[in-house]
Amino acid sequence: PSAEEEEEEPWCPYKVRGEGREGRLCFRSPARGFQCSGRSCRSHRSAGGALVANVLLNGSVLLQWGAPRPSAGLRGFALNCSWDGTYTRFPCESVELGAACRDFLLPEAHGGVRYRLCLQPRYGPRRPAPPAQCVEFRPQPPAMRDIVVAMTAVGGSICLMLVFICLLVAYITENLMSPAGAAPRRA
């Protein structure tokens, strides 16, 4: 292969399974070089440090991991997800990822819910798999910014309505106090 072909990032094949459906094969381009920065993102690491969950303000989560050692015989990864309800833990959709994958994007995570994601490398039949790397996090609930925008819109509408009511009362009061059709009095 040429130098250009070696520099190209491989596609990440994956299947999403859940609730009795088999899933279909999909491909995504990797998000290489992504860095979680300050206010727009929070990083959470697994106990072993191999799996990182980057929780973004828009409600999505970018999972990142490095190549497992040793990588000989690696067939792919299994990503399992669960979240805590009020009284029990619920499974999310599970994902099977190809051996070339080093990240995966969860497009929507519910704010305020505690998630647990575990990544398990899958090897050939003669090789035992190392323990799964798990990360737990709780995305922030929707930003207060959305609530403030909604309250401002409602407050602005109420204020505009009050201005119109005041103008209408002033107009009616002016016309009742000095009727236009009244004749002047003579002394």
Question: Do residues 100 and 115 touch, judged by C-beta distance below 8 A?
Answer: no
pLDDT at residue number 77: 92
pLDDT at residue number 143: 55
In this structure, whether the domain defined by 12-137 belongs to CATH 2.60.40.10 is answered with yes
Q: What's the rounded Cα separation, in Å, for the pair 147 and 128?
A: 50
Average pLDDT for residues 110-138, to the nearest whole number? 85
Ordered strands of the 51-56 beta sheet: 41-45, 51-56, 61-65, 103-106
pLDDT at residue number 150: 63
- The tens digit of pLDDT for each residue in 38-77 reads 778 888 889 888 899 998 888 888 899 988 877 778 898 9
**For residue 164, pLDDT beyond 70:** yes
Question: Do residues 125 and 105 touch, judged by C-beta distance below 8 A?
Answer: no
Q: What's the rounded Cα separation, in Å, for the pair 157 and 151?
A: 10
- What are the sequence ranges of the domains in the chain? 12-137, 143-175
Chain position carrying tokens 């991991």: 65
Question: Do residues 98 and 121 touch, judged by C-beta distance below 8 A?
Answer: no
**Out of 66-75, 147-156, 169-178, least confident range:** 147-156
pLDDT at residue number 155: 72
C-alpha Rg value of the chain to the nearest Å: 30
Does pTM top 0.85 for this prediction?
A: no
- The tens digit of pLDDT for each residue in 14-43 reads 888 765 567 778 888 888 778 888 778 888
**For residue 181, pLDDT beyond 60:** no
pLDDT at residue number 134: 92
Mean pLDDT across the chain: 78
Average pLDDT for residues 109-125, to the nearest whole number? 85
The residues pairing with 17 across neighbouring beta strands, listed in sequence order, are: 94
